[in-house]
Amino acid sequence: MMKFNVAEISCNHCTGAITKALLTLDEDAKLIFDLASRTVSVESDLSAEEVTAAIKEAGYEASEVKVSCCNSSNSCHEEIPFNT
């Protein structure tokens, strides 16, 4: 799931415009809005760039929230031996 900051969203009209724009491009997209933090989470086959463009087309500036893995228990943090 991708997450985007959308500073201007504040009401159901805003969420409706963004929802319409995204569902026009991907009718199976799932959206979760958090008006308090002014973010929208999107599960879609669209790329982050396509989602950003659709939100902009709806009249709102958006930027993707880059999520980093900071949990050292994840397998991506395991040491991998290198053969030298």
Domains and CATH numbers, the chain: 2-64 (3.30.70.100)
Q: Which residue shows structure tokens 């009718």?
A: 27
- Provide mean pLDDT across the span 64-81: 62
pLDDT digits (tens, 9 = 90+) for 2-37: 999 999 999 999 999 999 999 999 999 999 999 999
CA trace torsion 82, 67, 54, 19 (10° rounding): 130
Q: Nearest to residue 28, comparing CAs of 38, 15, 19? A: 19
pLDDT digits (tens, 9 = 90+) for 28-58: 999 999 999 999 999 999 999 999 999 999 9
> Taking the CA of residue 50 as centre, how many other CA atoms within 13 Å lie in the half-sphere pointing to its CB?
12
Q: Is the pLDDT of residue 75 over 70?
A: no
pTM: 0.77
Model pLDDT, residue 84: 47
